[in-house]
Amino acid sequence: MVVLLKHVIPVHLLITSVVLAELYKPNTRIACSKESHCPPDWPCCSPYGDCGSGPVCLGGCNPKLSFEDTACAPLPILYSPATELRYDRSIPPSSSKDEVFQQMINEHYPQEAPSNFEKEILQNNKLHLNSRGIIHFTDYLMTDSVDKAKDMLSKYQFLYSGPINIDPQTNDIQLNMPKQSSGSLITSAKYFLYGKLHVRLRAARSIGVVTGLVLISQVGDEIDFEFLGAELNFVQTNYYSQGELIHTNMQKYHIPTNIWATYHTYSIDWNPDRILWMVEGQIIRTLFKRDTWDPVSKRFKYPETPMRLEIAIWPGGAATNPPGTISWAGGLINWDTAPDILEKGQFSVYVQHANIVPYINPKITEKQRDVGTHQGCLKMFTFAYDSKKNPLYNEDSLKWHCCIIPKMANWRSSGKNI
């Protein structure tokens, strides 16, 4: 995160940001797992198995491994085609750069104007991302103001971490992995339960470099496309249920044209009964729920909880990874003489278009009828998990909320404070 912030804000603000960022996690890492849930002081379990608070309690917060269900904040959900999420490089920015710039000036300099040097830095990367509806995950919904939270919910489509930018020539979202770094990630700001996903991108190349296009839920349901930089004419498809890593679910598909040199549209059509994986509109794999029945656990091992989109570049071939991961990624990354390192100093993924069109959610439609517009209910719904309803953390565990505005008043807040 420091690498990214150096190109966004002045040094004195960088120092402040780093200090603040540490306030949402303990100085010594606390891991969360089935055997050890998060403690009350750091109640929220991140998607990466770390306990924290504030922004960790939003987004991918895992209620199964957190201190309790209510530590994770209720999350916004797309519930009908009218609420679709979209990034398209050809669509003008959602707000002007001047407007975003002035907002940033007001936030960082409430009493005095910044210097010209500081203005130049502020106008750089973060400004472009914000104007395109993309915000850093540590900024999203971090406010004690309901009005500001509402504004964020309507303005921002994606969250990011790591070094990403908007390509100045194409307006593509560019996810970067500089030398010896952990890569970068964008995620959809809202979840959906069943629908269609379309992403047009160019994957990264080179041995050990992995591009991921993933639908993932808080409790570990997952539907994947994965691209290995060492296999530029193949894509892998996979799915998981409740975080159970059954790697034999993976299937590989041959793509005639190079996935690094050529943009391709990758699609997932997910409903309660089946999943379709598609490349350029052609179905390459079909999975039926009926075929996922497990007689031992007596359940269908089928993704059935709200997902968010994640697109990432990450170092599968990093020397610190387990040998199995390095082997799967094609080998160790060449951080010194790989072509993209020599030419640009980093590996990159380019996202031209991303679109999620949810199917109509009958539970929310029913709740809309029950609440009625006369009560002033917002056209915004959130969901949360309630293990008292169903301890399996599946679709039957979900609670649907209207008019709850998810936000964190400070870095130590959790879902219980909303």
Spatial distance between the Cα atoms of 298 and 125, rounded to a whole number of angstroms: 50
Question: Which residue type occupies 111?
Answer: Q
Angstrom CA distances, 289 to 254, 256, 350, 355, 398, stand at: 25, 30, 33, 24, 20
In one-letter notation, the amino acid at residue 193 is L
Q: Distance (Å, rounded) from C-alpha 388 to C-alpha 396? A: 10
- Report yes or no: 315 and 340 within 8 Å, Cβ to Cβ: no
Q: What would the two tokens of residue 225 be?
A: 């496309």
- The dihedral through the CA atoms of 271, 190, 188, 410 has a sign that is negative
Q: Residue 58 in contact with residue 73, Cβ under 8 Å?
A: yes
Distance CA 43, CA 50 (A): 10
Q: What would the two tokens of residue 102 be?
A: 């002035």
Residues in the chain: 418
Indicate which residue of 107, 118, 226, 395 is catalytic: 226
Assess contact for 311 and 350: CB atoms under 8 A: no
Residue 107 falls in the annotated catalytic set: no
- The set of residues, in sequence order, having a beta carbon less than 8 Å from that of 344 and lying 6+ positions away, is none
Three-state DSSP string of 313-360: EEECCCCCCCHHHHHHCCCCCCCCCCHHHHHHCEEEEEEEEEEEEECC
Query: Rounded to whole angstroms, how far apart are CA atoms 45 and 49?
Result: 6
Q: CA 43 to CA 61: how far, in whole Å?
A: 10
Residue 395 annotated as catalytic: no
Q: What is the dihedral of CA 45, 47, 50, 51, to 10 degrees?
A: -20
Residue type, position 45, single letter: C
List the structure tokens of 3. Answer: 């690498």
| Structure token pair of residue 384 | 């949360």
Q: What is the CA radius of gyration of the chain?
A: 21
Cα(46)–Cα(409) distance, integer angstroms: 19
Catalytic residue (one of 22, 99, 222, 244) = 222
CB atoms within 10 A of CB 366: 11
Q: Which active-site residues does the annotation give?
A: 222, 226
